[in-house]
Amino acid sequence: MRVTVPLLELPECVIRRIGLESDIPNPFWLAEKVDYAKSCGLNRWGVPHMGVVTGTYQRRIEIPVAVLAGIRGARNEQANVRSRDLDAIREIMATTGKLPTDNGEEYLPFICVAYDGSAWVIDGNHRIMAAVALAWDRIPVEVRYFDGGELADGPLAPARVAEWLRCAHDTDPGGNVSAEDPVVLMPTA
């Protein structure tokens, strides 16, 4: 059974270890941001308004491809697959074992998480599709939380990210978490 631990109940050492920096000045400020986002409703693709970045990871994180495959594109890109682009990206990834590069750095998919915890692929749908086709286990991504999204339960809730980082360490000694400093979640209930 998976237990989801809200961010505020995660031990500070786990939040630090996963590299999450959250900037929410106070609950009243956040309530105003969430109320405004709710008042804006959904855009024509069903995506909630995303106003202010409140959470980011200050380290490289890798998310299971199976999870990323279930996250919709912010403009419904899965319904408009550019086959030639997908084939080229898949070829690059199969040949290099990495995501395509931009200025020598892996070009990470960019995921935004709204106030309600819903996650949306802003950039990188084809890279995720290529990773699925290549049966990759996980890929690095850039995640940003908007309007307190890091406090909501959703597919990229920080507790889940912490669990995946711990699992990556368990299966890959060269993973993102060192053996001397493992990530261990302590559910509160």
Q: What is the C-alpha to C-alpha distance for residues 10 and 8, in angstroms, rounded to an integer?
A: 6
- CB count within 10 Å of CB 140 equals 14
Q: CB–CB of 45/121 below 8 Å?
A: no
Signed CA dihedral, 130, 132, 135, 137: sign only: positive
188: CB partners within 8 A, 6+ apart:
5, 9
Rg (CA), the chain: 17
Give the pLDDT of the chain (189 residues) as one tens digit per residue: 333 444 556 677 777 778 899 899 999 999 999 999 999 999 999 999 999 999 999 888 999 999 999 999 998 887 888 989 999 999 999 999 999 999 989 999 999 999 999 999 999 999 999 999 999 999 999 999 999 999 999 999 998 898 887 766 554 444 444 433 333 333 333
* Domain positions in the chain: 40-171
